[in-house]
């Protein structure tokens, strides 16, 4: 750990993005809760500490605060946004609610090109997201950067090697953000570049072997990138101690189950059990329209199906005892579902974060080797594991499947209708060579009907929304600027070929404020 950055999480939605940027630069980074005792931090022997952002304010009654002893460890510290305010608070400065809240682009004027600002261009774009600002410098600190609304946008204490920035260097909109993080890691902390996906894979394989020992693991396979990479990683670690189970809940895309079985069989030599459970899931979701309920019901039923497999007896009447459940959980699932390392706000519950799963996590019975990674990092990990590219670069598909793309109660007829529309969209993306240019694309069944005219007759039928986004990691996304002719052609095909649809619309919202999935 001497060659790593330890990030204390105060609840920012972008905490993991800090770690990811640092890892992209070749340095190792770990995230720990803001309340981690200094004794535990000292055991990790970090080369530097970063204090993350937070939805809180330091002047709040219950504001999250770190162990103050971390500032006496004699190692560099960098505070980002709320982290800057924490440094200011501890060293006698003043933080107040700003009369002009600052969200979005701003220009950073340099007063000194030192430390984290070494070789950074003057008046470069940075990304702000704050309602507080420093009104009085903390003792021993100097302002070395400012914006129009933040006279203390970058501060530092030369003697202690402490830095604070008001903006978010971890987001792509901060032009020299990665350079700032590199300066902190390399020049201020003196770290060496040792982080690679190959090293990550080796560490995970070693950790999985140590945790599992000679016990058995059951993995819920969806057929997507995440679960496939998880299966490969765990199988490389423990071989035949792993059993993969694919639950066909009836919410998959057109012909997806057959394709998953085929792909899995060709790419791996791992037994795969297929459970047909469409009627069970459909009956459980009957009349359910709330997306949170859908996700939780599906997560619970998945677990019940896995339990059934675990209780099955072989030909000799013997039951295999599985000690661990494995999941292809990503960081985006974790941070949107529940606050794990800091007081972040829940965006939506993911099916792999229902209460029973959380209880198993607490009991140490869940294996989630990808939970610190973003989607693009998982693909890089898959390449490091020598997995086929065509498996790794498929568009993401949610575990609950089409059930959360039907924005009303889920029925067999609606699923079939949505399946056909979605299939047409993907087919045309591939045929017109746009599939690889879009990060994710899918169709959504809207809970409205509209009037139309077909063959001189009035219709009153369903509406489909098309969602196509460009993204790197799923944490932020923009709608894809696909050609209008393409949208028109896909719309025409869907309306003509899918009975029951008479209108197609295109979603042009970004994340944030919207999420990529509608539910």
Catalytic residues: 81, 168, 170
Cα 327 from Cα 359, distance rounded (Å): 14
Alpha helices in 153-244 (DSSP H): 177-182, 197-212, 225-238
Closest by CA position to 334, among listed 48, 78, 31, 52: 31
- CB-count exposure of residue 317 (10 Å: 0-12, 13-18, 19+): exposed
| Collapsed DSSP state (helix, strand, coil) of residue 210 | helix
- CB-count exposure of residue 140 (10 Å: 0-12, 13-18, 19+): middle
CA separation, residue 256 to residues 302, 328, 397, 414 (Å): 18, 18, 11, 17
| Collapsed DSSP state (helix, strand, coil) of residue 133 | strand
Residue reference for tokens 């030599």: 269
Q: For the chain, what's the residue count? A: 519
Q: How many CB atoms lie within 10 A of CB 281?
A: 23
Cα 436 from Cα 226, distance rounded (Å): 18
Q: Which residues are within 8 A (CB) of 437 and not within 5 positions of it... i.e. 6 or more apart? A: 470, 480
Rg (CA), the chain: 25
Q: Which residues are within 8 A (CB) of 386 and not within 5 positions of it... i.e. 6 or more apart? A: none
CB of 506 closer than 8 Å to CB of 438: no
CA separation, residue 194 to residues 20, 191, 203, 303 (Å): 14, 9, 13, 38
Residue reference for tokens 């949107």: 336
Q: Which helix (H) or strand (E) holds 260?
A: helix 256-267
* Rounded (10°) CA dihedral 349, 351, 357, 362: -40
């Amino acid at each position: 750990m001497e060659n790593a950055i330890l990030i204390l999480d105060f609840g920012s939605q972008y905490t993991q993005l800090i770690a990811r940027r640092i890892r992209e630069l070749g340095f190792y980074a770990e995230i720990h809760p803001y309340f981690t005792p200094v004794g535990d931090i000292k055991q990790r022997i970090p080369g530097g500490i970063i204090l993350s952002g937070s939805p809180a304010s330091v002047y709040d009654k219950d504001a999250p605060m770190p162990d103050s002893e971390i500032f006496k460890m004699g190692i560099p510290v960098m505070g980002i946004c709320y982290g800057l305010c924490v440094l200011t608070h501890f060293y006698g400065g003043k933080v107040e609610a700003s009369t002009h809240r600052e969200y979005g682009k701003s220009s950073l004027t340099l007063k000194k090109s030192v430390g984290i600002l070494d070789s950074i261009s003057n008046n470069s774009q940075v990304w702000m997201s704050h309602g507080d600002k420093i009104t009085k410098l903390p003792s021993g600190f100097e302002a070395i950067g400012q914006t129009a609304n933040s006279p203390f946008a970058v501060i530092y204490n030369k003697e202690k090697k402490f830095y604070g920035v008001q903006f978010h260097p971890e987001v792509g909109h901060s032009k020299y953000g990665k350079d700032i993080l590199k300066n902190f890691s390399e020049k201020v902390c003196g770290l060496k570049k040792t982080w690679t996906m190959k090293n990550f894979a080796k560490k995970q394989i070693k950790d999985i072997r140590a945790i599992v020992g000679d016990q058995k693991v059951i993995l819920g396979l969806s057929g997507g990138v995440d679960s496939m990479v998880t299966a490969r990683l765990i199988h490389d670690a423990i071989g035949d101690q792993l059993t993969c189970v694919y639950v066909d809940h009836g919410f998959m895309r057109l012909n997806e189950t057959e394709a998953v079985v085929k792909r899995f069989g060709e790419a791996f030599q791992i037994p795969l059990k297929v459970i047909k459970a469409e009627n069970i899931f459909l009956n459980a979701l009957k009349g359910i329209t709330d997306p949170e309920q859908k996700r939780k019901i599906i997560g619970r039923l998945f677990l019940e199906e896995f339990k059934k497999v675990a209780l099955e007896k072989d030909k000799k009447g013997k039951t295999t005892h599985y000690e661990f459940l494995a999941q292809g959980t990503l960081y985006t699932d974790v941070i949107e579902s529940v606050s794990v390392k800091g007081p972040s706000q829940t965006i939506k519950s993911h099916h792999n974060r229902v209460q029973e799963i959380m209880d198993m996590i607490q009991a140490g019975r869940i294996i989630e080797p990808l939970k610190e990674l973003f989607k693009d990092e998982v693909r890089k990990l898959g390449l490091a594991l020598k997995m086929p590219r065509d498996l790794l670069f498929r568009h993401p598909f949610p575990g609950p499947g089409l059930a959360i793309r039907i924005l009303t109660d889920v029925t067999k007829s609606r699923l079939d209708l949505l399946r056909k529309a979605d299939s047409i969209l993907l087919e045309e993306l591939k045929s017109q060579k746009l599939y690889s240019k879009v990060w994710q694309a899918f169709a959504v069944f809207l809970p409205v009907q509209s009037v139309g005219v077909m063959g001189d007759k009035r219709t009153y039928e369903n509406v489909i929304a098309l969602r196509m986004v460009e993204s790197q990691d799923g944490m932020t996304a923009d709608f894809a600027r696909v050609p209008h002719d393409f949208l028109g052609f896909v719309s025409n095909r869907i309306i003509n070929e899918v009975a029951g649809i008479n209108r197609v619309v295109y979603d042009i919202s970004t994340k944030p404020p919207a999420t990529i999935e509608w539910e």
